[in-house]
Amino acid sequence: MTANKLADWIATQHKAFLRWANSNLEAYELPLLDNLTRDFSDGVRLIQLLEIIGGESLGKYATNPKLQVQKAENINTALDFIKHRGVQLYNIGAEDIIDGNLKLILGLMWMLILHFTIDDISEEGLSAKEGLLLWCQRKTADYDEVDIRDFSSSWNDGLAFCALLDKHRPDLIDFYELDHSDHRGNMELAFKIASEEIGIPQLLDVEDICDLVRPDERSVMTYVAYWFHAFSAMDKIETAGRRLEKFLEVTSSAIEMEHSFEKRMKNLLQLIISQQKQWENSVFKGTYSDVKKQSTEFLDYKKVLKREWITEKSELASLLSNVRTKLATYRLQEYTLPEGLTLNDLDSVWQMLVKAEGTRSKEINNEMRNIKEQLRKKFADTANEFSLLISTVSLRISDMDGELDKQLEAITELSKQLKPLGDMLRELKLLDEQCIEAKVEENDYTIYSYDELEYELGLAKQSVLKKLAFIENQIVARSMNNLTPVQLEEFESIFRYFDKSQHNSLQENEFSGALASLGLVYSESEMHEVFEIASEGNNRVTFEQFINFMVEVTEDQQTSEQVLQSFIDIADGKEFVTELDLKNALIPEPMVEKLTQLMAKYDTQDEENGWDYLAYMSDLAGIK
């Protein structure tokens, strides 16, 4: 029977088993087989194959048999060796091989492949076919598109082979870039990469798997076994590499942990020693804010820094224990701590820190008590002195008498003496704030508080201002001979009543109120004009200006005729008056400006402007 007439499975097996045999012969540079039925007929090539896959010599045999008996002896030698290696043979003898019985020869080849290539495969306690199938399933478990259930139709689309490549050599193929519908393309790519890059002999062709509904199981299994051995060898190397890597990781990790322990231990010891030196060199500045700041820093240290150090101390002990455990686990040399970096060294330094903490706490508490006592005394001394000075001012004011000019000189001098009291009061305020900050609530060294001394200074200032105003007003009143004592007293009383700010002067609204209380009522525009005149263009009316204004009002109750005559006199008989005429009459400049605004212009036939006072008086008083 010719090869092209054989059933598909026989043709596939013949191709696969032939290539399997040749892959073994090729490794030893022996001639390759062309046909299993012809090339095994004298037993020589069969013996050579068995010596290779069995790893031992079969003894003497006829290397160039001519006779039928020699060929039979060679084949029987081979069959005996196969039985000797534990392979059970059924229904095959030397004559079957000599005659070229392909089905029996393929059966024999399958037994050899199974025993020498597949039987040594083991996966999770399973062996041979089950173990190989489980290996394929485990390696492709992450690929949803691949579902390997057998060694036949599960391999049709080529994706199973591509997945095995991607799993072990992702540098050679990208599974997720493949066209999953291109079965032949995927198979060709997998076969090519496996052969050229991995060194897996191509026992089958693409059509042996892709073109058959159910590819031959034995052929596929034989080919996949090569993949298993190729990648298992790779896995073995990777396992060895991982073992070495893990060992290096362990040793490196242990060394890093040792270095970390030493570095952290040095740092912790330096921080503790540095903190103690800082406390030793600390100096108090003698102020509450400073001692409070240092107290806060000490409390912060205990709440934050010390707790971090306690945690670090515990972690260092744990880290050292882990290092020793890891070294003991892997039977590595025990870790010897550097001198000065042992846990005992840390405990010694820690005890010194605790002792230094106690000393620091006492120093801060003592300084706090001293600062509070000093604040009490300083506030009391300043407050008592301040009260004495205030009393002296009040006494001097009450004792003041004699000539007005001397009293004015004395009260002016006393007013100057009040300025240092303002500075002293500010000092008292600062001391009071410091006492509040330091929670100094009681003071046996004085009976005065800041609030009452501030109030007393205010009263003293008012007394001085009132006395100064009184004396100045008395001097002004003394010169007002054209007022009766009763008028002067009335005017002074009204002035003082409306001098709300006690500046000895009146603002426009205050001035308006004072005049109204005396029966002098003006419109708003008139009031503003009167205020401008009385204040001489300023924003306040002094007592002297007020008295002068009242003298003019009470002295000169002018008639409209008198006013008209005054215009005539100022204009020197002209029918108009000029700005120069008004200024020569010593009328205040603001009043001159006001008059020129109120009067109509007069045609003077000259460059100089004139104003029609006749029309002005006619409009106001009906005088023609």
Rounded to whole angstroms, the Cα distance separating 82 from 94 reads 13
Calpha distance 281→82 (Å, rounded): 94
Please tell me the distance from the alpha carbon of residue 528 to that of residue 524, in angstroms, as a whole number. Answer: 6
227-235, Cβ contacts within 8 angstroms, sequence gap of 24 or more:
227/161, 227/164, 227/194, 227/200, 228/121, 228/132, 228/135, 228/136, 229/117, 230/194, 230/198, 230/199, 230/200, 231/139, 231/164, 231/168, 231/198, 234/168, 235/168
pLDDT at res. 2: 41
For the stretch 258-298, pLDDT in tens is 999 999 999 999 999 999 999 999 999 988 889 989 999 99
Q: What is the pLDDT of residues 186-244, one digit of tens each?
A: 999 999 999 999 999 999 999 999 988 899 999 999 999 999 988 887 777 766 766 77
- What percentage of the chain carries pLDDT values higher than 90? 45
**What is the SS3 assignment for 506?**
strand
Binning pLDDT at 50, 70 and 90, where does residue 34 land? very high
> What are the structural domains of the chain?
3-118 (1.10.418.10), 126-249 (1.10.418.10), 261-363 (1.20.58.60), 558-621 (1.10.238.10)
Q: How far apart are CA 448 and CA 471, in angstroms?
A: 33
- Provide the residue count of the chain: 624
Percent of the chain with pLDDT over 70: 92
* Per-position DSSP letters for 428-441, written without gaps between them: HHHHHHHHHHTT--
State the residue for tokens 């089950």. Answer: 130
Q: What is the pTM of this model?
A: 0.42
Q: What are phi and psi of 520, to 5 degrees?
A: -105, 100
Identify which of 491, 505, 588, 500 has the alpha carbon closest to the alpha carbon of residue 541.
505
Tens of pLDDT, residues 355-407: 999 999 999 999 999 999 999 999 899 999 888 888 887 777 777 777 777 77
CA angle in degrees (0–180, nearest 5) for 110-115-117: 85
Over the stretch 558-603, which tens digit does the pLDDT of each residue have? 567 767 877 888 888 888 888 888 888 777 788 888 888 888 888 8
Give the helix ranges, DSSP H, for 518-575.
524-535, 543-555, 560-571
Residue for token pair 């004298």: 42
Do residues 400 and 411 lie in contact, with contact meaning Cβ atoms separated by under 8 Å?
yes
Q: Read off the amino acid at residue 390.
A: I
Q: How far apart are the C-alpha atoms of 338 and 342, rounded to whole Å?
A: 7
Please report the pLDDT score of residue 332 as a whole number. 82
Q: Are 209 and 187 in contact (CB under 8 A)?
A: yes
Count of Cβ atoms closer than 10 Å to residue 581 Cβ: 21
Distances (CA, A) of 508 to 160, 451, 480, 540: 108, 35, 23, 7
Where does the pLDDT of residue 414 fall: very low under 50, low under 70, confident under 90, or very high at 90 and above? confident
Tokens of 352: 């010194």
pLDDT at res. 400: 74
Cα distances from 301 to residues 312, 353, 367, in angstroms, run 15, 12, 19
pLDDT per position as a tens digit, 461-499: 777 777 777 776 666 666 665 566 666 677 778 888 888
- The Cα 586–Cα 337 span in angstroms is 108
Side-chain half-sphere exposure of 610, counting CA atoms within 13 A:
18
Query: Using 50, 70 and 90 to split pLDDT, how confident is the model at 120?
Result: confident
**pLDDT value at 3 more than 60:** no
pLDDT in tens, 529-546: 888 888 888 999 888 788
SS3 126: strand
